[in-house]
Each structure stands twice: as structure tokens, then as C-alpha cells.
Amino acid sequence: MSITNKITVKRAEIAVAVILALCSIALMIKSAENRITWNAEENMGAGFLPFYLSLGMLICTVLTIIKFVLKRSPQSKDDSPFIEAEAFKYIAVTIISLVILVLAIGYLGIYFSLIFFLAFYLRYFSSKSILFISVFSLITPVLTFLFFEWLLKIPLPQGISEPLFYPVYDFMYS
């Protein structure tokens, strides 16, 4: 039995509800770092609203768990896989490549990271030729650069590749 068959909608429902309940408790504890009381003299403490909003979230997740236990929600009776094996490949590769992209942006800078991301993604999922993938992966960051840096004047992160752009800036602003 593959991992995607083991994770059923039913299991995902209860796991997510428990995680959300724990997150709500964490938010309540964090909110309590500020005053969470409310009275006429001092008005509302800074932690009052986030604390009670988190408490409300906790109540909602507990209700979801109760509905699950009583089998009142459609998900509580659903033993089908949460995600199909073929779709899982798409989703997992996409998520991992996006995480690596953002990690790489901090180090390599956005433009070079985008080249690698696009080349990998297109090579992995599309049946396009190497030439198409190369051209596409190079043109997209160039257009991104022109749009943000030249037209909008918004600098995007360049990491260690920043010195390579100095001549381009000299040309743009000279």
C-alpha cells in the first residue's frame, strides 16, 4: 500500500483539526504575553482580541473534532485517498521546487534562481525541447527584471549575483 493510499480523507481531516487546535492554543499562549483583560478604566489589553479570537478558533476545531467522532461530517466517513498517487507527484515536486526556489532567492538572487526553477520545472513536467526550455527559462527572468527594475523601479533580491547587475544599472541610470 503506497503512502498516498494510507493518507485517507478521514485521517487528514482529524490530523488537520488536531494541528489547528494546537496552533490555536499556541496563539492563545502567545497572545497572553500582553494583557488579555478588558475593563472600563483601561479599555482593551493588547492581547485581548488575539486571545479570544484564538479561543474561538480552538472551539471551532473542537467542534470539528466532535463532528468527526460522531461521524457527522462527510470527511469523517471518507476512506478515499486524500490525494491520488499521480497528483501527489505533481504537488510534492511543485512544493519542494518552490521551497528550494525561495531558499535560492536569498542566496543566488531572484533572477538566477528563476532560471534554474523554470528549467527544472519545465524539464520535469513538460515534453518541450531543450531549446524551448532554455529560451523560456532565460526570457522569463529578463522580462521580470525589465518589468520590476526598469518599469516599476522595484529592486528584487539579487543575493551574491548583485555585482553582475552593476553594469546594467549603470546603463539604465546613465
Partner 1 sequence: MDVFILLLEGIFVSFEPLNLGLLIFGCLIGLFVGAMPGLGSVNGVAILIPITFIIPPTAAIIFLAAVYYGAMYGGAISSVMLGIPGASTAVATVFDGRPLAVKGEAMTALTAAAVGSFVGGTVSVILFTLFAPPLAEVALRFNAPETFALMVMAFATFVGLGGDDVPKTIFSILIGLALSTIGLDLITGKPRLIFFNIPGFLHGINFLVLAIGIYGIGEMLWTLEETKGKVQMSKLSVNMKEVGRAFGALKKTIMAMNIGSFLGFFVGILPAAGATPASLMSYGITKQLSKNSKEFGSGVPAGVVAPECANNSASTGSMLPMLTLGIPGSPTTAILLGGMILWGLTPGPLLFTQEPEFVWGLIGSLYIANFFTLVLNIALIPAFLMVLRIPFAILAPVIFVLCVTGGYAPTQSLHDVWLMLLFGFAGYILRKLDYPVAPAVLSIVLGPLAEKALRQSLILSDGSMGIFFDMAEKPIAAIIMYIAIVLLIMPAFGPLYRKYFKKAQTT
The amino acid sitting at 71 is K
Q: Report if residue 125 touches partner 1, rule: CB under 8 A.
A: yes
Q: Report if residue 158 touches partner 1, rule: CB under 8 A.
A: no
Site string for partner 1, 70-99 (x = CB under 8 A): ---xxx------xxx-xx--xx--xx--xx
Out of 5, 7, 8, 9, the residue judged to bind partner 1 by CB under 8 A: 9
Q: Report if residue 121 touches partner 1, rule: CB under 8 A.
A: yes
CA 62 to chain centre: 25
**Cα 114 from Cα 112, distance rounded (Å):** 5
Q: Report if residue 160 touches partner 1, rule: CB under 8 A.
A: no
Q: Report if residue 61 touches partner 1, rule: CB under 8 A.
A: yes
From residue 75, how far is each of 14, 59, 63, 82 by CA, in Å? 9, 19, 14, 10
Bridge partners for 81 per DSSP:
8
Q: How far is the CB of 113 from partner 1 (least distance, A)?
A: 9
> Whole-angstrom distance between the N-terminal and C-terminal Cα of the chain?
64
Out of 69, 130, 135, 152, the residue judged to bind partner 1 by CB under 8 A: 152
C-alpha cell at 174: 546613465
Q: Report if residue 54 touches partner 1, rule: CB under 8 A.
A: yes
Cβ distance 118 to 125 under 8 Å? Answer: no
**φ, ψ for residue 23 (rounded to 5)?**
-60, -40
**Cα 151 from Cα 92, distance rounded (Å):** 35
**Interface residues toward partner 1, by CB under 8 A:** 9, 12-13, 16, 20, 27, 30-31, 34, 38-41, 43-47, 49-50, 53-54, 56-57, 60-61, 63-64, 67, 73-75, 82-84, 86-87, 90-91, 94-95, 98-99, 101-102, 105-106, 110, 114, 117-118, 121-122, 125-126, 128, 136, 140, 144, 147-148, 151-157
